[in-house]
Amino acid sequence: TSQYKQRAREESLRRSPASSATTIFIDGSNMMYDDRKFIGLAALVPVSDALLARGFEVFIMFDSSASRLLGASRSEIQSYFSSGVDVCFAVDGEADIFLLNTAINTCNSVVISNDRYRDYPDRMSRLSDRVLGFAIMRNTLTIPKLNLYVTI
């Protein structure tokens, strides 16, 4: 039965929007936390590098408060990431609406976030299967639907 479960999981991954994704939008402000513990860029930098190495186009979107939380300017934050990663900041407030609208209008894209975006049910009805959660255990971040495991 474990072989059956493995085959069923592989088939599920093949059918998911993640299997055809070419563009990844990461909710940067969301991934700066492990549950409720602030971890800053500890996960974002290695995850974005791993996604770039797999050939994805990677965008990280931050709320306007990210600079204050990280104690760094926007250009300093950008400098932590590889040149292939596009880092964006909300002009005012949260980046959620910008992130969701951009993902909706970008073919073959997925969003990585543990946010369920309950304030945006209309957008989530169009994106729900394209929002991929992540988990952090010990020093590993995993995104199961991308079969991605990254040491942080």
CB contact at 8 A, 100 and 123: yes
Q: What is the mean pLDDT of residues 108-135?
A: 92
Q: What is the mean pLDDT of residues 100-121?
A: 94
Which H helix or E strand runs over 102? Answer: helix 96-104
- Percentage of the chain beyond pLDDT 70 is 90
- DSSP secondary structure of 30-53: HHTEETTEE-TTTTHHHHHHHHHH
Q: What's the pLDDT at 16?
A: 66
Q: What is the mean pLDDT of residues 113-137?
A: 92
State the pLDDT confidence band at 92, using cuts at 50, 70 and 90.
confident
Can you give the pTM of this predicted structure? Answer: 0.88
Instruction: Write out pLDDT tens, residues 35-80.
Output: 899 999 999 999 999 999 999 999 999 999 999 999 999 999 999 9
User: Token match 């055809």: residue?
Assistant: 20
